[in-house]
Amino acid sequence: MATARLNDSRIGVHIDDEVGVRASTRTFSSRHAQHGVALFVSLDAHVVAGEARGSAVVVPADHEHEFSAPGPVIGICFDPERMPRIHAFARAQGRPTVIDGKLAVRLRGLVQSYRSVWERPDVLRGIADEAHAMFAPAEPRIDRRVADTLVAIRQGAAAPRTISQAHLQDLFARDTGTSMRTYRLWHRLLRAIRAFSTSDATSAAYAAGFADLAHFSRTCRRMLGYSPTTLRDGV
């Protein structure tokens, strides 16, 4: 369980629909599984995620894990459908994996080169884009009907009905690695977190479609490893 000490560790943060980036002096989480590919790049002490321990670690989307990094670290959560290069890489590993060799050197060099301006959200977004570009291009693999459904869910709209619901759910799970229900809940959580930055937790929960504050809090802990308050104040 993350604690209030995270409040003192934050350096900078950037969150949008494609990536969430956190720069910190240290970080750790409780056990969780987010629908995002996690990349951690540490400058000093090793990152530990599951059985992986190294200066650069990747965790596939929807893979249950906890992580810790006692030194300066950049943590990035990539939307797997909109950032397919790292998604394909992580999915091929199938578990938390240490990145080594030339790719690790390039990632550490990228993070180190911007160390003095980690507090800037635009810099953090740029780091995420440059890191993603370092991974090999991925072959398109999402059915058009699934792609249309992904867009609708991100926009908070109903999924288009061109095929049966059962068939669409099967295609969705095949192409994204998660269920439509989990994907909707993930984006509802992202909307609530963004709303919580400018309002109280209860209002943010209702605005994003959660039944109540307790549902928002449970979902946040299960999918991100933090309570909403710790996430807002410490991340």
3-state secondary structure of 1: coil
Residues 224, 84: Cα–Cα separation, whole Å:
21
Task: Strand 10-15: give its sheet, edge to edge.
Answer: 10-15, 19-24, 73-78, 37-42, 56-59, 97-98
**Alpha helices for 15-116 (secondary structure H):** 84-93, 101-113
Identify the CATH homologous superfamily for domain 144-234.
Homeodomain-like (1.10.10.60)
**Cα dihedral 112/114/120/123 (nearest 10):** -110
pTM of this structure: 0.84
Q: Looking at the domain 6-133, which fold is it?
A: Jelly Rolls (2.60.120)
Mean pLDDT by 10 residues, the chain (235 residues): 43 87 89 94 91 95 92 94 93 94 96 95 97 89 88 84 89 90 91 87 92 93 87 63
So where are the chain's domains? 6-133, 144-234
Q: Are strands 27-28 and 19-24 parallel, antiparallel or unpaired?
A: unpaired
pLDDT for position 234: 55
